[in-house]
Amino acid sequence: MAAGKIEPEVSKVGRDKLISAAVQVGAIVLSGFSLSRAIAAETPPSFEVYGFGQSDYIQDIRRVDPNWEDTLRPSKIPTAAGEYGSDGQASISVKQSRLGVKGSMPVDGNDLFTKIEFDFFGVGADAGQTTIRLRHAYGQWGEWLGGQTNSLFMDGDVFPNVIDYWGPAGMVFLRTPQIRWTPFQGDYELAFAIEKPDLGIDVGNIRYEDPKLGANIQNDLKAPDLTGQFRANRPWGHVQLAGILRRVGYDTVGNSTNDPKDHLIGWGFDLTSNIKTIGQDKVDLGAVYGKAIAAYMNDGGVDLAPQGVPGSLQAETVPLWGIVAYYDRYWNDHFSTSVGYSRTQVSNRSFQAGDAFHSGEYASINLLYTPVKNVLMGAEYLWGRRVDNNFNSGDDTRTQVTFKYSFSSKDVLGNRI
């Protein structure tokens, strides 16, 4: 009988606890993502030094720009016979080798994460050299990130399992300095950023009609680029939609008014997805379109170019589209293959020169072997093609054999540092 009297009291206590818990959970949900951040903040501090040494033996069947012989970029394929010399060049490169450090620690309810990483693949003024190239240098605390990392306009998860350094031409790929806000994280993510502006200007035939003017036109970058990204993470993979809005301007040095000068609006959308199939296998898909977005593409094109005829010329944003489709197949724990195709193409403006870039294609297939956790070796066959504004074209095929040896301080010290 005593137990019968106690039972209603226990039920009441249980109901009160359930109601209290429901109110608390509701308050947490309405406040945003405080719960997920609180859970994340329970992660113990960690620090890791990581990287890999890699050697790539590349045997070209034809030829590319010598400064870019250690990777395949369609934009660097010649469209005139003998432009870079004879075909069939060989190279052995360690430029892909990488070194990085990253650390995480809870600070006032949120994890503070930092990462610095670089490789040795020279670009820009260092193209062709084996020299330090910064990849990532950023920190993140809670919803805020600052530093250099992947642009919000790109989706690094659609980069296929290839051993070529540059990868598919028709995808958005850029690491850039930025300030990012991510108010929603988890199954559904939403983020916004301001990113460092950059601009590719083609003065076209102006360089022949008025060489001085063509040499004095320069970028006018008065505002950062605005990017946004929405991503849905599902059990079958993910889908992501990213957008960009940017001010693209130019002016002219050498006169008091800097004329001619003007600015236009660039914009673009990038739709990407990973789709899981069998076991670890996945499909990597992407499609991008916009105007004045070439600076964010993995390869090819410019953002501004001249339109019209002499005496009536104006700058226009250059339309561009790109696609990427790859299948990553994991045969077992040791062997894998990645096969696919990518393309990027621009709509050239009327006063661009005949040799201006029009389109680039890229395809590859490989067989990779991972005998143990930290070792990868494999071979890849690649094909690329460039078409110019005047429809002259050139193509290249090559093979790449890679040996890669990875390391991490956690393999030696575990989580003790």
Q: Quick check: 31 pLDDT over 80?
A: no
What are the domain boundaries of the chain?
A: 32-413
> Each residue of 354-388: pLDDT tens digit?
999 999 999 999 999 999 999 999 999 999 999 99
pLDDT confidence bin for 43, thresholds 50/70/90: confident
Q: Helix (H, G, I), strand (E, B), or coil: what is residue 337?
A: strand
Q: What is the pLDDT of residue 414?
A: 73
Of 382, 364, 342, 370, the closest CA to residue 280 belongs to 370
Residue percentage of the chain with pLDDT more than 90: 87
Q: What is the reported pTM?
A: 0.88
3-state helix, strand, coil in the chain (%, to 5): 15, 50, 30
Question: Which parts of 32-89 are beta strand (E)?
Answer: 46-60
How confident is the model at residue 415, as a pLDDT?
63
pLDDT at position 417 over 50 = yes
Residue with tokens 């892909």: 96
Q: Which two tokens stand for residue 363?
A: 């395809």
- H-type alpha helices, 31-154: 34-41
* pLDDT interval class at 153 (50, 70, 90): very high
Which residue, 342, 396, 400, is CA-closest to 367? 400
CATH topology for the 32-413 domain:
Porin (2.40.160)
Per-residue pLDDT at 412: 87
User: For the chain, what is the mean pLDDT?
Assistant: 91
DSSP one-letter string for 269-297 = EEEEEEEE-STT-EEEEEEEEEES-GGGB
Give the model confidence (pLDDT) of 45-88 as tens digits. 999 999 999 999 999 999 999 999 999 999 999 999 999 999 99
The CA–CA distances, whole Å, from 237 to 9, 168, 242 equal: 48, 20, 17
Coil, strand, or helix at residue 248? strand
Task: Give pLDDT, residue 20.
Answer: 47
Render pLDDT for 254-294 as a digit per residue (tens, 0 to 9).
999 999 999 999 999 999 999 999 999 999 999 999 999 99
